[in-house]
Amino acid sequence: MGKFKTGFEPTRAKDEMRHVEVEIDFTPNALASILYRQGDTVILACVTKESRLPGWFPRDSSKGWVHAEYSLLPGSTDSRFRRERRGAKGRTQEIERLIARSLRAAVDLEALGPIALNVDCDVLNADGGTRCASITAGNLALRLAVRRLIAKGICLPKDLRPTFEQQKEGNWVAPKLSDVEATNHENAVIPHDLAAISVGLIDHEVWLDLDYLLDSNADVDMNVVKTADGKYVEIQGTGEEATFSGDELMALLGNADGGLEVLFDAQKLILDGIE
């Protein structure tokens, strides 16, 4: 095992994921909500539908938008995290931009239609990997939200949406999709699931799914965001007063791929059969 500055020994093997648990509809007022636990990191991801598209969208836009916000709650860290009452700053802003662009990369905004969705990721407890856990939880909540919008006749294939005149008349009735049609449209809006995982180097050894202890001892840490069809969305890798070789980079990505496959399998299992 690697040498740890704190003197503590990790409780997991280097390639072992933390345990993942999910509770559906933890917050019933949201369109969809997910209470997501990955080890001792706990995220509440909630999706809400806005009444209109952002103001900078064209009035007749046929595509939608996905926005995300991220916040550490005051009691989520070992010392109280002060609320950012005047908007996200610094690290928080950087993380929520990562979450938002990652989620948008997994969504076909034209297939979504003229719908604006907000994904709020609140960290209830932080033990490393909060941005990655937020992306994975956000994907689960977002897919569930899209599924429900389809069931309500709000999110429809382009050829079944009401015209401007039909909307103005106010007597348009949404068509009812068959189960197969609904599933096909859901997979058009979100063709492939999205997940993220952290990896790191400690004394030139690769560790998967960094908790706070591992992250604070890492010479190199990396966040890897990927879709289930094997496409990378973003890779954030940083040497913490250290460098890493090309071989170590490939080892980090290979280890991340193993963890991401676990998360994709878990997502499928969680969402199968949920309405």
Q: Is 14 a member of any domain?
A: no
pLDDT of residue 81: 64
**Residue 6 domain-assigned (yes or no):** no
Q: Angle formed by the axes of helices 130-151 and 90-106, to 10°? A: 40
Is residue 162 in some structural domain? yes
Q: What angle do CA 263, 266, 268 make, to 5 degrees?
A: 110
Query: Would the pTM count as exceeding 0.85?
Result: yes
Residue 13 belongs to some domain of the structure: no
Total of domains in the chain = 1
Helices (H) then strands (E): counts for the chain: 7, 9
In a domain, 177, yes or no: yes
1 domain-assigned: no
Tokens of 99: 């979450």
* Partners of 92 in the β-ladder: none
pLDDT in tens, the chain (275 residues): 556 665 556 778 999 999 999 999 999 999 999 999 999 999 999 999 998 988 898 888 889 999 999 997 766 666 666 766 666 667 888 999 999 999 999 999 999 999 999 999 999 999 999 999 999 999 999 999 999 999 999 999 999 998 878 877 878 888 899 999 999 999 999 999 999 999 999 988 999 999 999 998 999 999 999 999 999 999 999 998 789 999 999 999 999 999 999 999 999 999 887 76
Residue with tokens 């999709």: 177
pLDDT value, residue 167: 77
Sort 109 into a burial class: Cβ within 10 Å, 0-12 / 13-18 / 19+: middle
For 238-260, how does the pLDDT look when each residue is reduced to its tens digit (9 = 90+)? 998 789 999 999 999 999 999 99
| Residues in CB range of 199: below 8 A, 6 or more apart | 206, 207, 208, 209, 210, 221, 222, 224, 252, 253, 255, 256, 259
- Separation between Cα atoms, residue 62 and residue 109, nearest integer Å: 9
Instruction: Classify burial at 130, counting beta carbons within 10 Å of its beta carbon; exposed 0-12, middle 13-18, buried 19 or more.
Output: buried
Q: Which two tokens mark 32?
A: 């969809």
Residue 191 placed within a domain: yes
102 is in which domain, residue-wise?
Answer: 20-271
Rounded to 5 degrees, φ, ψ at 46 are -125, 135
CATH, residue 31: 3.30.230.70
